[in-house]
Amino acid sequence: MLNELNHVIDYIEERLTDDLSLEEISEYAGVSDYHFRKIFFYISGLTLSEYIKNRRLSEASMDLLHGEKVTDVAFKYGYQSIDGFTRAFKKWSGFLPSEVIKKGISKTFPKLSFVITVKGGINMEFRIEEKPAFNLVGVSKRVPMQFEGVNNEIVKLAESITDEQREEMHSLQNMEPYEIVNASYEADANFLKEEGDLTHLIGVLTTENQVSDLLEKVPVDAYTWAVFPNEGPFPSTLQETMAKVYSEWLPSSNYEVINAPAFSFTKMDKDKKDYAYSEVWIPVRRKTK
């Protein structure tokens, strides 16, 4: 996958002045758009669109430094107006395009190159399971995306569950894992930057279809699931495991992630404060390329 990422970086580099869509890039990579964007973000720390914007503005800065006109540079890199380009350039670099020409000041953002880094030789435990179609049934709400720490909105959601809702969830639960799960789905387009919301559901897995108005039902198709057990301080260990799935396991595996609800469950240790066993379940499919 790292070799593929470097090929994609070269592909982007050759087309910085073209009308390049994110879907076209993912198609070139040979994986789904959803999978590629998530992998790219977790490895690089940037969204794909953010990287392309930074590279275009960096090249624009070099062109201005070499004496090209602001108008020509703006249209060369896809901006529809001089004002739009000037605002974007000022926000990115901290100075105006005209200052690059007059004062010879500049800012650069180099092309990315991905390399393999071995980190401590720690194996990542996982298993692959096939699961038939099921329903996620529980209570849900839109919550802000948060990669680290306790999400207070999810805490409030958990505290809002009534005895009646718990009783119905318990009666419907009939599939492994026989645990209360936390599922996430329907993330906003800019969720990778922690600027959007997603839907978070606390509930159970069931094959039952008859659900009362007290609970929400979310159908999930039959998928292959990559399951990642983890144990340690909560919630940091769970969140670190999730990050490693995308930054380390998926790039080196023969699987790509599917745009469907992922879920996890957590069993707190009674003897150790803020310590837990968790499992992360990610829907995947084998790569076709």
Written as tens digits, the pLDDT of the chain (289 aa) is 566 778 888 999 999 999 888 888 888 887 777 788 878 887 777 888 888 999 999 999 999 988 899 999 999 999 999 999 999 999 999 889 998 888 888 788 888 876 544 444 445 688 889 999 999 999 999 887 766 667 788 889 999 999 999 999 999 999 998 999 999 887 765 544 445 678 899 999 999 999 999 999 999 999 999 999 999 998 888 888 888 888 778 877 888 888 899 999 999 988 888 899 999 999 999 887 5
Give this prediction's pTM: 0.67
The reply to whether 34 falls in a domain is: yes
Together in a domain, 132 and 96: no
Q: Rounded to an integer, what distance in angstroms lies between the CA atom of residue 86 and that of residue 77?
A: 12
- pLDDT recorded at residue 121: 43
Neighbouring residues of 168: CB distance < 8 A, sequence distance ≥ 6? 211, 212, 214, 215
Backbone angles phi, psi at 38, to 5 degrees: -70, -45
Together in a domain, 204 and 79: no
Together in a domain, 94 and 202: no
The reply to whether 253 falls in a domain is: yes
Q: Which domain holds residue 43?
A: 2-103
Together in a domain, 139 and 281: yes
Q: Rounded to an integer, what distance in angstroms lies between the CA atom of residue 150 and that of residue 144?
A: 12
Report in angstroms the alpha-carbon separations of 204 from 184, 223, 270. 13, 17, 22
Query: What's the domain count of the chain?
Result: 2
Q: Rounded to an integer, what distance in angstroms lies between the CA atom of residue 36 and that of residue 42?
A: 10
Single residue among 39, 69, 103 that ends a domain in this structure: 103
Together in a domain, 145 and 272: yes
Together in a domain, 140 and 272: yes
The reply to whether 134 falls in a domain is: yes
Together in a domain, 53 and 185: no
- pLDDT recorded at residue 194: 43
Single residue among 40, 68, 103 that ends a domain in this structure: 103
What H or E segment, with its residue span, contains residue 285?
strand 275-286
Together in a domain, 75 and 199: no
Together in a domain, 71 and 140: no
Residue 218 pairs with which residues in a beta bridge?
A: 136
- pLDDT recorded at residue 115: 57
The reply to whether 113 falls in a domain is: no
Q: What number of helices (H) and strands (E) belong to the chain?
A: 11, 9
Together in a domain, 62 and 156: no
